Chain A
Amino acid sequence: MRFKRLWAIFNTRNREFFRDREAFGWNFLFPFLIILGFGVIFKGDYLSPFKVGVFPVPHTVSVAQSIDNLPDSFTAFKAIAWVGVENRIHGVEKLKHHKIDLLVEAGTQPVRYWVSDSSPSGAIVERLLKEALAPPDSGDRFEKKDIQGLQIRYIDWLFPGILGMNMMFSALYGVGWVVVRYRKNGVLKRLKATPLTAFEYLSAQLLSRIFLLMFTLVVVWLGCNLILDFKIYGCLTNLFVVFLAGSACMTTLGLVIASRGTSEEFANGILNFICWPMMFLSEVWFSIEGAPAWLKTSAKIFPLTHVLTAARKVMNEGQGLLAVMPELGILATMTLTFLLVGAALFSWNK
Chain B
Amino acid sequence: MRATDCADPLMEIIDVEKHYKRLRAVDGVSLAIWRGSCFGLLGPNGAGKTTLIEVIEDIIAPTAGTILYKGERRAAQFRQEVGIMFQQTALLSFLTVAETLETFSRLYDTTEPVAHLMKRCHLGEVKNQLNDKISGGQKQRLLLALALLNRPELVFLDEPSTGLDPQARRNLWEIIKSVKSQGRTIVLTTHYMEEAEKLCDDIAIMDQGRIIARGAPQDLIRTHCKRATLSVPKDQFPQKIDIRHGFCRERGNRIQIRTENVNAVVGQLLSNRVDMRGVNVKTPTLEDVFLKLTGRSLRE
B56 to chain A, nearest CB (A): 12
Total residues of chain A contacting the partner, CB 8 A: 25
Interface residue? A186 (CB, 8 A): yes
Interface residue? B89 (CB, 8 A): yes
Chain A residues with CB under 8 Å of chain B are 4-5, 7-9, 11-12, 15-16, 19-20, 182, 185-187, 189-196, 348-349
Q: How far is the CA of A250 from the CA of B60 in the complex (A)?
A: 30
B86 A189 Cβ-Cβ under 8 A: yes
B95 A189 Cβ-Cβ under 8 A: no
User: Can you give 6 A-B contacts (C-beta < 8 A)?
Assistant: A5-B106, A5-B107, A186-B86, A195-B107, A195-B109, A196-B107
B13 to chain A, nearest CB (A): 18
The A/B interface has a contact count, at CB < 8 Å, of 63
B92 A16 Cβ-Cβ under 8 A: yes
A187 B92 Cβ-Cβ under 8 A: yes
A349 B59 Cβ-Cβ under 8 A: yes
What is the chain B residue whose CB lies nearest that of A23?
B94
A16 B107 Cβ-Cβ under 8 A: no
Pick the interface stretch among B40-48, B76-84, B240-248, B270-278.
B76-84
Contact of B89 (CB < 8 Å), options: A9, A16, A186, A348:
A186
Q: Which chain B residues border A12 with CB–CB below 8 Å?
A: 92, 95, 99, 103
A194 with B107: in contact, given A189-B59, A349-B60 (CB under 8 Å)? yes
Q: How far is the CA of A193 from the CA of B94 in the complex (A)?
A: 21
Q: How far is the CA of A191 from the CA of B104 in the complex (A)?
A: 8
B95 A195 Cβ-Cβ under 8 A: no
Q: How far is the CA of A182 from the CA of B90 in the complex (A)?
A: 8
Interface residue? B167 (CB, 8 A): no
B106 A8 Cβ-Cβ under 8 A: yes
Q: How far is the CA of A11 from the CA of B92 in the complex (A)?
A: 12
Q: How far is the CA of A190 from the CA of B91 in the complex (A)?
A: 8
Chain B residues with CB under 8 Å of chain A are 57, 59-60, 76, 79-80, 82, 84, 86, 88-95, 99, 103-104, 106-109, 146
Q: Which chain A residues border B59 with CB–CB below 8 Å?
A: 189, 192-193, 348-349
A263 to chain B, nearest CB (A): 16
Q: How far is the CA of A7 from the CA of B103 in the complex (A)?
A: 10
Q: Which chain A residues border B108 with CB–CB below 8 Å?
A: 194-195
Q: How far is the CA of A195 from the CA of B106 in the complex (A)?
A: 10
Q: How far is the CA of A318 from the CA of B107 in the complex (A)?
A: 46
Q: How far is the CA of A5 from the CA of B76 in the complex (A)?
A: 14
Q: How far is the CA of A187 from the CA of B76 in the complex (A)?
A: 20
What is the chain A residue whose CB lies nearest that of B77?
A195
Q: How far is the CA of A192 from the CA of B58 in the complex (A)?
A: 9
A20 with B94: in contact, given A189-B59, A193-B86 (CB under 8 Å)? yes
Q: How far is the CA of A199 from the CA of B86 in the complex (A)?
A: 23
What is the chain A residue whose CB lies nearest that of B156?
A193
What is the chain B residue whose CB lies nearest that of A17?
B94
Q: How far is the CA of A349 from the CA of B51 in the complex (A)?
A: 13
A44 to chain B, nearest CB (A): 41
Contact of B90 (CB < 8 Å), options: A5, A15, A186:
A186
Q: Which chain A residues border B107 with CB–CB below 8 Å?
A: 5, 8, 191, 194-196
What is the chain A residue whose CB lies nearest that of B102?
A8
What is the chain B residue whose CB lies nearest that of A13?
B92
Q: Which chain B residues border A194 with CB–CB below 8 Å?
A: 79, 104, 107-108
A190 B106 Cβ-Cβ under 8 A: no
What is the chain A residue whose CB lies nearest that of B81?
A195
A193 B60 Cβ-Cβ under 8 A: no
Q: Which chain A residues border B88 with CB–CB below 8 Å?
A: 186
B71 to chain A, nearest CB (A): 21
B90 A193 Cβ-Cβ under 8 A: no
Q: Which chain A residues border B89 with CB–CB below 8 Å?
A: 186-187, 189-190
Q: Which chain B residues border A187 with CB–CB below 8 Å?
A: 89-92
Contact of B103 (CB < 8 Å), options: A8, A19, A193:
A8
B92 to chain A, nearest CB (A): 6
Q: Sorted from nearest, which 6 A-B pairs have the closest CB atoms?
A: A185-B90, A8-B106, A19-B94, A193-B84, A194-B107, A195-B79
What is the chain A residue whose CB lies nearest that of B91?
A187
B185 to chain A, nearest CB (A): 16
Q: Which chain A residues border B86 with CB–CB below 8 Å?
A: 186, 189-190, 193
B274 to chain A, nearest CB (A): 57
B220 to chain A, nearest CB (A): 30
A7 with B106: in contact, given A189-B89, A193-B84 (CB under 8 Å)? yes
What is the chain A residue whose CB lies nearest that of B107?
A194
B131 to chain A, nearest CB (A): 11
A14 to chain B, nearest CB (A): 11
Q: How far is the CA of A312 from the CA of B106 in the complex (A)?
A: 43
Q: Which chain A residues border B60 with CB–CB below 8 Å?
A: 349
A16 with B76: in contact, given A4-B106, A195-B109 (CB under 8 Å)? no
What is the chain B residue whose CB lies nearest that of A195?
B79
